């Protein structure tokens, strides 16, 4: 198409979407695509839900918009009451926004406000190397992806970074595979001490690394050790569940796999399954009450949106009623098994990893040395394009190995995917890999 849209795919002629249902999308030329990526690991309940569309329309007919400082809404109260018991946060309070980056920005401000309210001037947030938390300034500052940060470094804040539990490229080979959690916790503690414990406000991390490092599942001793360090130094723990929340990893939230109880949690993507731009910042009752006593100077025009709450509640109802969290666990086991069966012996497949319906294949130029392909070869992009030609939509990420190089294929299909469709995804991906890497 031509026109005045500032495209996210400059120089490429994109097909025009006509519609979708379940895990399938259709373009205006009549082609069918199997969505193995959920767009950008967003779609959970599937495309084309009349139930969710009707809930959005019904709320919009009642009232489309009021400012969150002027009115409360029944839709928002009902959503918070329904979601609350599912959250891995003690006595949770929910601050709804319009997406993941806004949710992270809000969480960072809440952390700062919390310490100020307690009479402590803490401002440093520690993130992890290789991590991604969003593209607004604060979110990009705590992210650890050098390629995304580089153009905007003069604008970014004073965040610090520590190690990531990237098991395929473990930074502690002498401890691997046992004891890595303790080494990561030690590294975090060293960073807190180096910054000055009285200055560190929060530590932010994804329970399972999302697209940036490709579904990296930490060792089981990681989160208990990390949580203990944060508690010991009074550092708030922020769990970034933007990609791992709402059933994606086979539990309601990624934190649930290890019993993590963060002080703050951010979510988006699957919260409204793409039907509405909805993000959430959740804080514990203790954090909420402390901040509210002093006041919280923050807000967005479209936060606390009643239509967004109606969308979120409808999605939550579908996830619960249709058992989609449990389905993600079962279909995820199948996807992992089939990816390994089809690709584990491929000379350019270095690692296959994931949990639930969040999986990744890391591609390497040399399996023995784990050397990545040169970025100039654009291996991941070419494979994604080849799979799309075969009607299978994959997601990709780059830079995992060293900040610029490292090719990942990421899988995050709607949780309604069928066993036969899982097999179709695997076959389409394998064919594309064999085609591109045989050249």
pLDDT given for residue 1 in this prediction: 65
Helix, strand, coil percent content, the chain, rounded in steps of 5: 40, 15, 40
Provide the pLDDT confidence category of residue 3 given band limits of 50, 70 and 90: confident
Q: Which of 307, 310, 272 is nearest to 66 (CA)?
A: 307
Res. 370 pLDDT band, cuts 50 70 90: very high
Over 80: is that where the pLDDT of 427 sits?
A: yes
Local structure of 113: helix, strand or coil: helix
Mean pLDDT on 406-418: 98
Both 309 and 184 in a single domain? yes
What tokens does 354 get? 């994931």
Residue 369 φ/ψ, nearest 5 degrees? -95, -10
Give me the mean pLDDT over the 171-185 stretch: 87
Query: Same structural domain for residues 342 and 198?
Result: no
DSSP 338: H
The mean per-residue pLDDT over the stretch 256-284 comes to 98
Answer whether residue 2 shows pLDDT above 80: no
DSSP 3-state of 407: strand
Residue 210 located in a structural domain? yes
pLDDT single digits (tens) 24-80: 999 999 999 999 999 999 999 999 999 999 999 999 999 999 999 999 999 999 999
Q: Is residue 310 part of a domain?
A: yes
Structure tokens at 414: 């709607």
Could you tell me if 327 and 266 lie in one domain? Answer: no
CA-based torsion, 246, 91, 280, 131: positive or negative: negative
How does pLDDT run across 93-144, given as a tens digit for each residue?
A: 999 999 999 999 999 999 999 999 999 999 999 999 999 999 999 999 999 9
Give the residue-averaged pLDDT of 390-407.
96
* End residue of a domain, out of 268, 302, 321: 321
Domain membership of residue 8 (yes or no) is: no
**Inside any domain, residue 4:** no
- pLDDT tens across 140-156, in order? 999 998 888 989 999 99
CATH number at residue 396: 3.90.1150.10
Could you tell me the end-to-end alpha-carbon distance of the chain, in angstroms, rounded to an integer? 31
What value does the mean pLDDT take over residues 192-218? 97
Identify the CA nearest to 247 among candidates 334, 329, 331. 329
Residue 94 lies in a domain: yes
Same domain, yes or no: 376 and 262:
no
- Percent of the chain at pLDDT > 90 equals 93
State whether 242 and 328 are in the same domain.
no
In sequence order, the 6+-apart residues with CB closer than 8 A to the CB of 104 are 133, 134, 136, 138, 139, 142, 204, 240, 242, 266
pLDDT band at 12 (very low <50, low <70, confident <90, very high): confident
Count structural domains, the chain.
Answer: 2
Q: Taking a C-beta distance cutoff of 8 angstroms, is the pair 263, 203 a contact?
A: no
Same domain for 127 and 247, yes or no, is yes
Q: Around Cβ 7, how many Cβ atoms within 10 Å?
A: 10
Chain mean pLDDT for the chain: 96
Q: How confident is the model at residue 216 (pLDDT cuts 50, 70, 90)?
A: very high
Is 10 a domain residue?
no
Do both 280 and 349 map to the same domain? no
Same domain, 206 and 280: yes
Question: Average of pLDDT values for 217-229?
Answer: 97
- Residue 106 main-chain phi, psi, to 5 deg: -65, -45
Phi then psi for 288, rounded to 5 degrees? -55, -50
Question: What is the spatial distance between Cα 87 and Cα 265, in angstroms, rounded to a whole number?
Answer: 9
Of 272, 302, 321, the residue at which a domain comes to its end is 321
Are residue 245 and residue 354 in the same domain, yes or no? Answer: no
Are 336 and 294 found together in one domain?
no
Q: Where are the beta strands (DSSP E) in 3-86?
A: 17-21, 24-27, 32-35
Q: Tokens 């975090």 map to which residue?
A: 188
In 3D, which of 188, 190, 182 has the Cα closest to residue 205? 188
Sign of CA dihedral 337, 338, 344, 350: negative
Number of neighbouring beta carbons within 10 Å of residue 373: 20
Same domain for 159 and 275, yes or no, is: yes
**What pLDDT, on the 0 to 100 scale, is given for residue 174?**
82
Average the pLDDT over 228-247 and give the result.
Answer: 98
> Residue 364's pLDDT is what?
98
Which residues share a beta bridge with 278? Answer: none
In which band, very low, low, confident or very high, does the pLDDT at 344 lie, cut at 50, 70 and 90? Answer: very high
Nearest partner of 99 among 302, 310, 357, judged by Cα: 302
CB-based contacts of 317-323 (< 8 A; 24+ apart in sequence): 317/51, 318/45, 318/49, 318/51, 318/52, 319/44, 319/45, 319/246, 319/247, 319/415, 322/45, 322/416
Residue 57 covered by a domain: yes
To the question of pTM greater than 0.95 for the whole model, the response is: yes
In a 13 Å sphere around the CA of 362, the CA atoms on its Cβ side amount to 26
Whole-angstrom CA distances from 399 to 127, 149, 300, 310, 376 are 17, 12, 32, 38, 12
Residue 150 belongs to domain with CATH number: 3.40.640.10
Q: Give the pLDDT mean for 372-396.
A: 98
**The domain containing residue 247 runs over which residues?**
52-321
> Where does the pLDDT of residue 175 fall: very low under 50, low under 70, confident under 90, or very high at 90 and above?
confident
Dist. CA 201–CA 198, nearest whole Å:
8
Q: Which of 289, 321, 353 is the last residue of a domain?
A: 321
Q: Indicate if 302 and 341 belong to the same structural domain.
A: no
Residue 338 lies in a domain: yes
């Amino acid at each position: 198409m031509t026109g005045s849209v500032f495209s996210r795919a400059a120089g490429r002629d994109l097909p025009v979407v006509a519609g979708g249902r379940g895990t399938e999308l259709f373009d205006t030329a009549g082609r069918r695509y199997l969505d193995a990526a959920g767009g950008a690991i967003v779609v959970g309940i599937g495309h084309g839900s009349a139930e969710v569309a009707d809930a959005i329309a019904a709320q919009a007919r009642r009232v489309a918009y009021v400012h969150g400082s002027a009115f409360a809404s029944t839709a928002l109260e009902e959503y918070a009451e329904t979601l609350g018991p599912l959250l891995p946060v003690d006595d949770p309070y929910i601050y709804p926004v319009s997406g993941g980056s806004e949710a992270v920005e809000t969480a960072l401000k809440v952390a700062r406000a919390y310490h100020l309210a307690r009479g402590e001037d803490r401002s440093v947030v520690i993130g992890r190397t290789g991590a991604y938390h969003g593209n607004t300034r604060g979110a990009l500052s705590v992210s650890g992806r050098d390629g995304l940060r580089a153009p905007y470094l003069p604008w970014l804040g004073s965040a610090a970074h520590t190690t990531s539990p990237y098991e395929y490229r473990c930074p502690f080979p002498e401890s691997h595979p046992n004891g890595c959690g303790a080494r990561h916790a030690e590294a975090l503690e060293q960073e807190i001490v180096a910054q000055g414990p009285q200055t560190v406000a929060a530590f932010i991390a994804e329970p399972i690394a999302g697209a940036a490092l490709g579904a990296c599942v930490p060792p089981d001793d990681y989160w208990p050790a990390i949580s203990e360090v944060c508690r010991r130094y009074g550092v708030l723990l922020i769990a970034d569940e933007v990609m791992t929340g709402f059933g994606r990893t086979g539990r309601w939230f990624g934190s649930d796999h290890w019993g993590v109880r963060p002080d703050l949690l951010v979510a988006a993507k699957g919260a409204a399954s793409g039907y509405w731009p909805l993000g959430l910042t959740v804080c514990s009752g203790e954090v909420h009450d402390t901040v509210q006593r002093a006041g919280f100077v923050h807000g967005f025009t479209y936060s606390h949106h009643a239509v967004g709450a109606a969308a979120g509640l409808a999605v939550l109802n579908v996830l619960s009623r249709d058992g989609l969290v449990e389905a993600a666990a079962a279909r995820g086991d199948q996807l992992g098994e089939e990816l390994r069966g089809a690709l584990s012996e491929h000379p350019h497949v270095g690692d296959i990893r994931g949990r639930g319906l969040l999986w990744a294949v890391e591609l390497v130029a040399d399996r023995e040395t784990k050397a990545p392909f040169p970025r100039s070869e654009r291996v991941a992009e070419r494979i994604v394009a080849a799979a799309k030609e075969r009607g299978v939509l994959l997601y990709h990420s780059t830079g995992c190995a060293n900040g610029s190089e490292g090719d990942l294929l990421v899988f995050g299909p709607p949780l309604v995917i069928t066993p036969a469709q899982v097999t179709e995804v695997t076959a389409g991906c394998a064919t594309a890999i064999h085609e591109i890497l045989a050249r």
